[in-house]
Structure 1
Amino acid sequence: MPRLSKLGFLTIGLFDPASPRAGHESTLGLIAHGESLGLDSAWVRHRHLQYGISSPVAVLAAATQRTSRIQLGTAVTPLGWENPLRLAEDWATVDVLSGGRLNPGFSVGPPARYEEVKGALYPDTAEAEDFSYARVSRLLACVRGEAVTAGGATTGFEARSDLVQPQSPGLGRRLWYGAGSLRSARWAGEQGLNLLTSSVVKWDPEVAPDTGVPPFAAIQRAQIRAFRAAHPDGARARVSQGLVVVPTDSATPAQRERYAAYARERLPRTTAPQGPAGLLFAPDLVGPSAELAERLHADAAFQEVDEVAFALPFDFAYEDYVQILGDFAHHLGPALGWKPGA
């Protein structure tokens, strides 16, 4: 079983619409706090037309100026909302500002509730937009330094480049794909991407039952193995797991009660595939770090990885997140064999 080498966290960055600055400042403060604890990475979710982070690239640009070591990621940016060339410019700019710490994660497919938003998002091209893997290929070409124009290079004051600028060496190796199915995991491996897994997978009839292994863990393990089988780096290909994990070592009695109630309320959705897409959810893990470490070590998918970005529950208070991150660093991480960064 691999020792946990990288420990990070993921936050949705909720805010009060009556005071959006306070929520965004809390997210930045949490990232800086994570760095002070020696955590390896901080990831932000992408939320459009909701009271969460709609522009991770802007938030992480601010985070680059308040931190110096922690890796900064998006989990994930839905490409259906983005122009690949413009997004590549934004990512490269933030990566330069961060000193090479940006880890962009993304997914493909039509935007959520597309029929409702397409008139505002793509008023002239809604029916022509391509939300297939071809959109990802355009993005990868821009980030990885392929020419986007022909013969446009000039010199002097108005000098132009055939490449997206700036170019940030190494960024192309720090791109992550958020996969929820065997097909997408294999495809991500073929593209040489890194793989982000989460607490949600698609029910997949390709995965044979494995006696003693819960369905979620069996499906996620199969996806990880399929990804690495298709990746040029094979077993060394990077995978990060993103379960919801809430240690309670330093929590107050009131916090422990709220955390347990949160997990109980969400447990029914883990018992069977949900909705038309057949989504299967992992149970939230709540409890003392010694107990959580035992449960994680027994998890068939966790056994395949040495990196995690544990997801913070959406609607907890800032003080709760501080307590949870502290327990990640001081209790759960060491129980999993992890050591804090310098």
Structure 2
Amino acid sequence: MSAHLRRMGFLTIGLFDGADPGPGHESTLRIIELGEQLGFDSAWLRHRHVQYGISSPVAVLAAASQRTSRIALGTAVIPLGWENPLRLAEDLATVDVLSGGRLNPGISVGPPMHFDAVKDALYPDTAEQEDFSYTRVERLLGFLRGDRVADFSNGEGFFDDYSQRVEPHSPGLAERVWYGGGSLRSARWAGEHGLNLLSSNVIRAEEAEDFATVQAGQIRLFREHHPLGEKARASQGLVVIPTDSATAEQRARYEAYVAKRTPRTSGPQGPGRVMFAPDLLGSSAQIAELLLQDPAFALVSEVAFALPFTFEHEDYVQILTDIATHLGPALGWGPSAP
């Protein structure tokens, strides 16, 4: 039996038409507004570069912060290989201030995807010198906590006042940083450094070839090395598609989507032995039964259910409504007050 599900969120990629990107971004903002109205505890944005998905979730969440008042706003995840940690710290702190302390930055490290193809544009002079290790996370955390970034503080002119730290400073933001981990090494590192852990539907097969077993092992290792132990926050992210109020046409499209993606869940993929969790499709009662048998789900008290990438706005409305009104309550969750 799962622990009581106390926090429930959702995750979206925010697809848009490259020839007319405005409506897609507006759809994402409306989905976040709907999530708050339905009582979800958090809304998370994926991060995509040189694709037709949100490339700047921090900017989109700044807009969302002005259209919502309660729901937590997260990124899942920002790949730090694309970012300058100091500049990112300024942006994150600004949005946290604008949102009233609701930002939950999710981050990861490593070289950017397709680095050889983009390095000349991203780092034309320093590509070979860039450090894509965990040190990049430590720099970001230090800036968020108020580490010194400048050696001056006095005014250099009549109107110029300088700070020695990143401004604005938002106390508590560093404690709301999540690490997107999919390996034993990353889970342990996140625990040792006191971060929160985002475990998604993509992980590495290291000790077994059953997705739930591997994911549960990573969550346990994370907490074994975290200062808070069993109280350390870990969130599970799986694709769930409840069909309680779906039309026959929607169900058919959902079934085709899942059927196309299912073969990749048969076992570890490629030299990295990447594993994908099966998409959970069916009534809320059927999905709840599967989750309550999941050993990883049993270890968490919060989730960020991922929305399918290529669906229409109306599909997301139906799925989120069914999650909030049927699936969540079946898992012991109740909507947050407005």
TM-score, normalised to structure 2, is: 0.97
Which residue of 1 is the match for residue 271 of structure 2?
A: 276
Aligned partner of residue 185 in structure 2, secondary structure: helix
* Shift in Å, 1:79: 0.1
Which residue of 2 is the match for residue 203 of structure 1?
A: 205
| CA distance in 1 between partners of 2:270 and 2:50 (Å) | 22
Amino acid of the structure 2 residue aligned with 1:324: I
| CA distance in 2 between partners of 1:189 and 1:147 (Å) | 25
Aligned partner of residue 221 in structure 1, secondary structure: helix
1:185 aligns with 2:180: no
* Shift in Å, 1:246: 0.7
Amino acid of the structure 2 residue aligned with 1:3: H
| CA distance in 2 between partners of 1:330 and 1:317 (Å) | 20
Matches within 5 A, 1:158-307: 158-204=160-206, 207=207, 215-307=210-302
Amino acid of the structure 1 residue aligned with 2:264: R
| CA distance in 1 between partners of 2:95 and 2:311 (Å) | 28
* Shift in Å, 1:198: 0.4
What do the CA deviations read for 1:153-174 (whole angstroms, capped 9, x no partner)? Answer: 1257311111111110110111
Matches within 5 A, 1:21-170: 21-150=22-151, 152-155=152-155, 157-170=159-172
Amino acid of the structure 2 residue aligned with 1:62: A
- Size of the aligned set, in residue pairs, is 334
Aligned partner of residue 131 in structure 2, secondary structure: coil
Which residue of 2 is the match for residue 315 of structure 1?
A: 310
* Shift in Å, 1:80: 0.2
Amino acid of the structure 2 residue aligned with 1:235: E
| CA distance in 2 between partners of 1:298 and 1:203 (Å) | 20
| CA distance in 1 between partners of 2:104 and 2:126 (Å) | 30
| CA distance in 2 between partners of 1:142 and 1:197 (Å) | 25
| CA distance in 2 between partners of 1:298 and 1:259 (Å) | 23
Amino acid of the structure 2 residue aligned with 1:102: L
* Shift in Å, 1:274: 0.7
Aligned partner of residue 268 in structure 2, secondary structure: coil
| CA distance in 2 between partners of 1:173 and 1:328 (Å) | 28
TM-score, normalised to structure 1, is: 0.96
Task: Please list every run of at least 4 consecutive aligned residues from structure 1 whose deviation after the TM superposition is greater than 2 angstroms.
Answer: none
| CA distance in 2 between partners of 1:115 and 1:100 (Å) | 37
1:9 aligns with 2:10: yes
Amino acid of the structure 2 residue aligned with 1:196: L
Aligned partner of residue 309 in structure 1, secondary structure: strand
| CA distance in 1 between partners of 2:236 and 2:150 (Å) | 38
Structure 2 gaps of 5+ residues are none
* Shift in Å, 1:272: 1.2
What do the CA deviations read for 1:206-261 (whole angstroms, capped 9, x no partner)? Answer: x2x5xxxx710111001000000111010000011110011110101111111112
Aligned partner of residue 31 in structure 2, secondary structure: helix
Aligned partner of residue 123 in structure 1, secondary structure: coil
Aligned partner of residue 303 in structure 2, secondary structure: strand
Structure 1 gaps of 5+ residues are none
Amino acid of the structure 2 residue aligned with 1:330: T
| CA distance in 2 between partners of 1:288 and 1:123 (Å) | 51
Which residue of 1 is the match for residue 326 of structure 2?
A: 331
